[in-house]
């Protein structure tokens, strides 16, 4: 285990916390932690955006250090009068981050490093390595030598910034960077949920320990009997729930929000475990519909961590624990910390009085564009969500949106409630549009060099195959149940209101299961509209009536996304239908909903002065059952993960050395070469397998890498290069080979098992300008001296 790397990166994040705090405290001055929970990603954004601009001309350690020192100087200037932060709140931020950071590092240490199967690790690691070798931005594409990367690389740039500031090799930087993104997101969820909850009056009393202990004990016993899991899989979350609900409202909300993002799963696993024991549940799951190749039942012995993320028939329904456990350093995982910064800025706007017009303008036209632009570079899929959160924050704040523009405000019609709501929405959308323009300007080099180049391969489409009732409930049921109970609790007067709400929920499920809408000859199931629609409408209405706070804005945002993808999606060349849209949007919904999820659960698990003990116990039981149910997956997955652990290491090359030792030795030799010399290797026509390991693990560009390059470059460009490689490796004509080596500016020719399997490799060692530079029992690497190659005619 590389403990020195761990310590350096942990210290880096603590420095980011200190540097980012003066900025974050200006945005959220009245938060209990003064914005400390968002200070780390704030500092990282402030370093990354200028680096993106400067990097167009030069990139490397000294550029990053120079930008970091400038940000440090700006932070010191802002903090010249001191930044008052409650010591306990600050300590909570450090503790939450440290626990989450250590947790994910433990997961990474138990894994086998960077490997091609089951995800995007070869892509992500290759981009990181390419950035660390680059002398300017964008870096060269490690799978398309000589061309710049056409991919959202902002998150990888953040990881590279951390690696350069800590002096960490890419092979060791991958894991602490991933752990940092995870821990920053968990910390952000904690801080935002606790800040939102602290603003509400009432619901302040924690549950009595006797009540919480009784409820947790019953839930533990019920889980053992109903699910058939090991005792510790149930007792640990039951104990966690007991500890959480007996805390103050602020801490309760923060802890449950962090849990909802960092460890909770959907309801697939507990329901399938229950279905294995209760036939009626099995029949109900089968009838409601999940992905056809998924059995409605499972057992602890047959549990597979992948199943819970693959129940939607035409999409991937990932949730954070699965994603981080799988261990990709991918955009939808790195972008959560930035998304939570957007939520923080939206919350700041929401809490700013109408009279402070210039502060509100600074937030929406100063802070949010920088964050939105950063999101463009980290995960372009999340950019519309950022604009949506912006529009909703403006539309649903108490301050009138039109007051941002005095000229417009003069003519605003507020005589009718409906007109006022429409005006709020229209102005919110206009503000979001302006933010989008300013965001593009903030990161224009990325927009010009990457976004506009690759945008032509994507277009919107409408009316996809809908999500079935069973899949929808299993994937979103955890949050839908929490929000429904919370919203009803805000307005319910007695048991009659709860009974009416229960009947309405049953009717909504029945409606979604039985009613189809036909549009343009296409049948649409109304599952999302029937189940998420009422949640959206109720949250909007109660927010406007000031019955709920900013948590209502986030509930609306998530519900809107869930409904939207049932009617529209983005077509790309990566996967058919709305497969990718479901994947990327559901990940954002989970992140957005984890914050109000913590607020809702904290409110439901509270002792109200006006409530009797039975009502308090019922709310507590509801929360504990949800926590235990959402934890079963994590218990089983962690047991399997650590059960297969070999050596604890953060080395990204571990899998290569374990499975392909001779090739790994050659990769190590190549990895020591500076810069980005071009190599040739067999094209990766079977992605997610051991293809193009040399370029993927070193960041040194190969002429034609994984076939995914057809998505970004087009078929003709990619297959022309593949044809060039066919000739280069097999031809007996030195002149033809020299032409192609010069064409692609090749410095090394890689000949390993994959190359010999694809081609009858010609003997080229005796040709001028080509000589063996490295050789072992499996791999030969030829060095190419272009000036000594045989002469060719122009």
186 pLDDT more than 70: yes
Under a CB-based contact definition with an 8 Å cutoff, are residues 638 and 305 in contact? no
528 pLDDT more than 80: yes
Quote the CA–CA distance of 336 and 38 in Å, as a whole number: 11
Nearest by Cα to 483 from 444, 531, 448, 413: 531
- Residue 784 sits in a domain whose CATH number is 3.40.50
Shared domain for 471 and 591, answered yes or no, is yes
pLDDT at residue 202, as a whole number: 57
Q: What is the rounded average pLDDT of the residues 423-430? A: 93
Q: Is 117 exposed, middle or buried (0-12, 13-18, 19+ CB in 10 A)?
A: exposed
Quote the CA–CA distance of 312 and 292 in Å, as a whole number: 9
Both tokens of residue 434?
A: 């302006």
Percentage of the chain modeled with pLDDT above 90: 70
Block residue for tokens 């002149």: 735
Nearest by Cα to 401 from 465, 350, 344: 350
Residue 106 belongs to some domain of the structure? no
DSSP 8: H
Shared domain for 537 and 440, answered yes or no, is no
Q: What is the rounded average pLDDT of the residues 765-772? A: 92
Name the residue range of residue 501's domain.
Answer: 301-316+458-606
496 pLDDT more than 50: yes
Backbone angles phi, psi at 513, to 5 degrees: -80, -25
Quote the CA–CA distance of 415 and 320 in Å, as a whole number: 45
Shared domain for 674 and 688, answered yes or no, is yes
pTM of the predicted protein model:
0.96
Under a CB-based contact definition with an 8 Å cutoff, are residues 256 and 233 in contact? no
Backbone angles phi, psi at 330, to 5 degrees: -105, 160
Both tokens of residue 407?
A: 């000229």
Average pLDDT, the chain: 91
pLDDT at residue 142, as a whole number: 97
Shared domain for 441 and 537, answered yes or no, is no
Taking CA atoms, 542 is separated from 80, 486, 489, in Å, by: 42, 11, 12
DSSP 364: I
Confidence of residue 413 (pLDDT cuts 50, 70, 90): low
Q: What is the rounded average pLDDT of the residues 484-491? A: 92
Nearest by Cα to 163 from 699, 658, 654, 660: 699
Q: Which residues, in sequence order, are CB contacts of 611 under 8 Å at separation 6+?
A: none
Q: For 605-609, which contacts have Cβ atoms below 8 Å and span 24 or more sequence positions?
A: 605/207, 605/244, 605/245, 605/252, 605/256, 606/203, 606/204, 606/205, 606/206, 606/207, 606/249, 606/252, 607/205, 607/206, 607/207, 607/208, 607/211, 608/202, 608/203, 608/205, 609/205
More confident residue, 606 or 487: 487
Q: Which residues, in sequence order, are CB contacts of 601 under 8 Å at separation 6+?
A: 252, 253, 256, 260, 482, 486, 623, 626, 627
DSSP 768: T
Nearest by Cα to 155 from 269, 257, 41, 64: 41
Half-sphere exposure of 415 (CA within 13 A, CB side): 2
Quote the CA–CA distance of 739 and 791 in Å, as a whole number: 9
DSSP 151: S
Residue 644 belongs to some domain of the structure? no
Taking CA atoms, 184 is separated from 32, 44, 99, 180, 258, in Å, by: 18, 11, 11, 6, 10
Residue 48 belongs to some domain of the structure? no
Q: Which residues, in sequence order, are CB contacts of 93 under 8 Å at separation 6+?
A: 17, 33, 36, 37, 39, 187, 190, 191
Angle at 649 between CA 644 and CA 650, to 5 degrees: 115
Give the containing element (helix H, strand E) for 773: strand 770-775
Backbone angles phi, psi at 251, to 5 degrees: -65, -40
611 pLDDT more than 60: no
Nearest by Cα to 754 from 712, 677, 711, 696: 696
Across 579-606, b (16+ Cβ under 10 Å) vs e yields bbbbbbbbbbbbbbbbbbbbbbbbbbbb
| Residue 756 CB neighbours (<10 A) | 15
Block residue for tokens 């996967």: 575
DSSP 706: B
Under a CB-based contact definition with an 8 Å cutoff, are residues 199 and 31 in contact? no
More confident residue, 494 or 721: 721
Angle at 309 between CA 196 and CA 325, to 5 degrees: 75
Domain boundary among 411, 435, 454: 454
Beta strands 678-680; 746-751: pairing state = parallel
Strand partners, 749: 680, 782
Confidence of residue 421 (pLDDT cuts 50, 70, 90): confident
Residue 552 belongs to some domain of the structure? yes
Both tokens of residue 287?
A: 């009838």
Across 403-432, b (16+ Cβ under 10 Å) vs e yields ebeeeebeebeeeeeeebeebbbebbbbbb
Give the containing element (helix H, strand E) for 783: strand 780-784
Q: What is the rounded average pLDDT of the residues 690-717? A: 94
724 pLDDT more than 50: yes
CA dihedral 326, 327, 329, 333 (to 10 degrees): 60
Give the containing element (helix H, strand E) for 460: strand 459-462
Shared domain for 667 and 698, answered yes or no, is yes
Quote the CA–CA distance of 277 and 328 in Å, as a whole number: 35
Give the model confidence (pLDDT) of 298-355 as tens digits.
899 999 999 999 888 778 899 999 999 999 999 999 999 999 999 999 999 999 999 9
Beta strands 770-775; 678-680: pairing state = unpaired
Shared domain for 306 and 368, answered yes or no, is no
Beta strands 746-751; 770-775: pairing state = unpaired
Angle at 548 between CA 543 and CA 549, to 5 degrees: 85
Confidence of residue 494 (pLDDT cuts 50, 70, 90): confident
Q: Which residues, in sequence order, are CB contacts of 549 under 8 Å at separation 6+?
A: 196, 199, 200, 543, 599
Residue 737 belongs to some domain of the structure? yes
Q: What is the rounded average pLDDT of the residues 367-391? A: 97
**Lowest-confidence range among 93-97, 116-120, 204-208, 236-240?**
204-208
Q: What is the rounded average pLDDT of the residues 404-418? A: 71
Give the model confidence (pLDDT) of 441-455 as tens digits.
999 999 999 988 876
Give the model confidence (pLDDT) of 66-122 as tens digits.
999 999 999 999 998 788 888 999 999 999 999 999 999 999 999 889 999 989 999
Residue 53 belongs to some domain of the structure? no
Shared domain for 470 and 414, answered yes or no, is no
Nearest by Cα to 759 from 696, 681, 667: 681
Quote the CA–CA distance of 445 and 453 in Å, as a whole number: 12
Shared domain for 736 and 712, answered yes or no, is yes
Quote the CA–CA distance of 136 and 131 in Å, as a whole number: 9
Shared domain for 447 and 462, answered yes or no, is no
The verdict on whether omega for the bond into residue 259 sits within 30 degrees of 0, i.e. cis, is no
Dihedral sign of CA atoms 482, 487, 493, 499 in order:
negative
Q: Is 646 helix (H, G, I), strand (E, B) or coil?
A: coil
Quote the CA–CA distance of 269 and 636 in Å, as a whole number: 9
The verdict on whether omega for the bond into residue 665 sits within 30 degrees of 0, i.e. cis, is no
Domain boundary among 454, 488, 510: 454
Block residue for tokens 């909300």: 253
Shared domain for 404 and 310, answered yes or no, is no
Nearest by Cα to 476 from 502, 500, 512: 512
Task: Print the SS3 string covering 259-314.
Answer: HHHHCCCCCHHHHHHHHHHCHHHHHHHHHHCCCCCCCCCCCCCCCCCCHHHCCCCC
pLDDT at residue 644, as a whole number: 75
Shared domain for 533 and 579, answered yes or no, is yes
| Residue 119 CB neighbours (<10 A) | 17
pLDDT at residue 522, as a whole number: 47
Beta strands 516-519; 522-525: pairing state = antiparallel
Residue 544 belongs to some domain of the structure? yes
Under a CB-based contact definition with an 8 Å cutoff, are residues 507 and 446 in contact? no
pLDDT at residue 468, as a whole number: 85
The number of folded domains in the chain is: 3
Entry field: residues in the chain: 794
Give the model confidence (pLDDT) of 733-750 as tens digits.
999 999 999 999 999 999
Residue 342 belongs to some domain of the structure? yes
Shared domain for 405 and 511, answered yes or no, is no
Q: What is the rounded average pLDDT of the residues 657-672? A: 96
Give the containing element (helix H, strand E) for 389: helix 383-396
| Residue 358 CB neighbours (<10 A) | 8
Domain boundary among 399, 422, 454: 454
């Amino acid at each position: 285990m590389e403990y020195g790397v761990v310590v350096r990166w942990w210290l880096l994040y603590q420095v980011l916390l200190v540097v980012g705090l003066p900025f974050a405290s200006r945005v959220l001055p009245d938060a209990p932690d003064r914005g400390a929970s968002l200070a780390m990603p704030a500092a990282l954004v402030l370093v990354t955006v200028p680096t993106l601009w400067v990097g167009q001309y030069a990139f490397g350690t000294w550029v990053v250090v120079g930008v970091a020192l400038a940000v440090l100087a700006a932070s010191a200037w802002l903090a010249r009068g001191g930044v008052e932060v409650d010591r306990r709140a600050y300590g909570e931020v450090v503790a939450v981050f440290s626990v989450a950071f250590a947790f994910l590092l433990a997961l990474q240490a138990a894994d086998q490093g960077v490997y091609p199967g089951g995800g995007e690790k070869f892509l992500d690691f290759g981009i990181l390595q390419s950035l660390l070798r680059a002398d300017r931005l964008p870096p060269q594409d490690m799978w398309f030598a000589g061309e710049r990367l056409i991919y959202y690389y902002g998150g990888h740039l953040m990881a590279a910034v951390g690696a350069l500031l800590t002096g960490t090799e890419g092979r060791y930087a991958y894991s602490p960077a991933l752990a940092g993104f995870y821990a920053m997101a968990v910390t952000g969820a904690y801080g935002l949920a606790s800040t939102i909850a602290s603003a509400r009056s009432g619901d302040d009393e924690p549950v009595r320990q006797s009540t919480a202990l009784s409820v947790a004990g019953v839930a533990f016993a019920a889980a053992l009997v109903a699910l058939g899991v090991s005792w510790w899989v149930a007792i640990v979350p039951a104990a966690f729930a007991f500890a959480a609900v007996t805390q103050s409202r602020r801490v309760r909300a923060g802890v449950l929000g962090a849990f909802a993002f960092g460890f909770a799963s959907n309801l697939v696993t507990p329901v399938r475990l229950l279905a294995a024991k209760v036939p009626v549940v099995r029949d109900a799951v089968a009838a409601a519909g999940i992905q056809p190749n998924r059995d409605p039942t499972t057992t602890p012995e047959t549990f597979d961590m992948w199943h819970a993320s693959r129940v939607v028939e035409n999409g991937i329904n990932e949730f954070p624990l699965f994603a981080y456990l799988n261990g990709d350093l991918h955009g939808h995982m790195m972008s959560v910390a930035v998304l939570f910064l957007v939520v923080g800025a939206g919350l700041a706007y929401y809490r700013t009085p109408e009279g402070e017009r210039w502060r509100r303008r600074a937030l929406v036209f100063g802070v949010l564009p920088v964050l939105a632009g950063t999101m463009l570079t980290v995960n372009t899929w999340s950019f519309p969500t950022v604009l949506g959160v912006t529009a909703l924050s403006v539309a649903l704040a108490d301050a009138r949106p039109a007051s941002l523009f005095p000229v417009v405000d003069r003519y605003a019609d507020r005589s009718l409630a409906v007109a006022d709501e429409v005006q709020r929405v229209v102005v919110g959308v206009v503000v979001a549009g302006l933010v989008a323009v300013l965001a593009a300007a903030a990161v224009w080099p990325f927009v010009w060099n990457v976004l506009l180049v690759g945008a032509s391969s994507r277009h919107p489409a409408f009316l996809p195959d809908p999500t079935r009732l069973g899949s929808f409930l299993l994937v979103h049921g955890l949050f839908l149940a929490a929000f429904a109970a919370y919203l009803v609790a805000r307005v319910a007067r007695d048991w009659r209101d709860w009974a009416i709400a229960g009947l309405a929920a049953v009717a909504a499920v029945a409606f979604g299961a039985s009613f189809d809408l036909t549009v343009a000859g296409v049948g649409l199931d109304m599952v999302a509209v029937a189940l998420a629609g009422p949640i959206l409408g109720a949250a909007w209405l109660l927010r406007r009536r000031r019955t709920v706070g900013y948590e209502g804005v986030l509930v609306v945002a998530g519900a809107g996304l869930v409904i939207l993808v049932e009617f529209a999606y983005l077509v790309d060349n990566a996967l058919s239908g709305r497969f990718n849209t479901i994947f990327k949007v559901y990940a954002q919904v989970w992140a957005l909903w984890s914050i109000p999820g913590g607020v809702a659960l904290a409110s439901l698990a509270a002792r109200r002065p006006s409530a009797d003990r039975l009502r308090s116990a019922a709310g507590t039981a509801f929360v504990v059952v949800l926590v235990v149910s959402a934890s079963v997956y994590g218990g089983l997955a962690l047991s399997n993960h650590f059960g297969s652990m070999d050596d604890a290491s953060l080395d990204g090359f571990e899998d290569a050395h374990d499975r392909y030792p001779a090739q790994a030795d050659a990769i190590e030799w190549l990895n020591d070469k500076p810069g980005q010399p071009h190599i040739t290797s067999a094209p990766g026509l079977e992605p997610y397998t051991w293809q193009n390991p040399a370029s993927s693990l070193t960041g040194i560009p190969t002429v034609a890498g994984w076939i995914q390059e057809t998505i970004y470059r087009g078929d003709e460009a990619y297959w022309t290069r593949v044809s060039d490689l066919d000739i280069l490796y097999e031809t007996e004509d030195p002149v033809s080979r020299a032409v192609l080596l010069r064409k692609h500016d090749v410095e090394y020719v890689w000949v390993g098992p994959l190359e010999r399997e694809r081609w009858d490799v010609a003997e080229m060692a005796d040709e001028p300008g080509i000589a063996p530079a490295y050789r072992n029992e499996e791999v030969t690497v030829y060095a190419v001296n272009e000036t000594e190659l045989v002469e060719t005619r122009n």
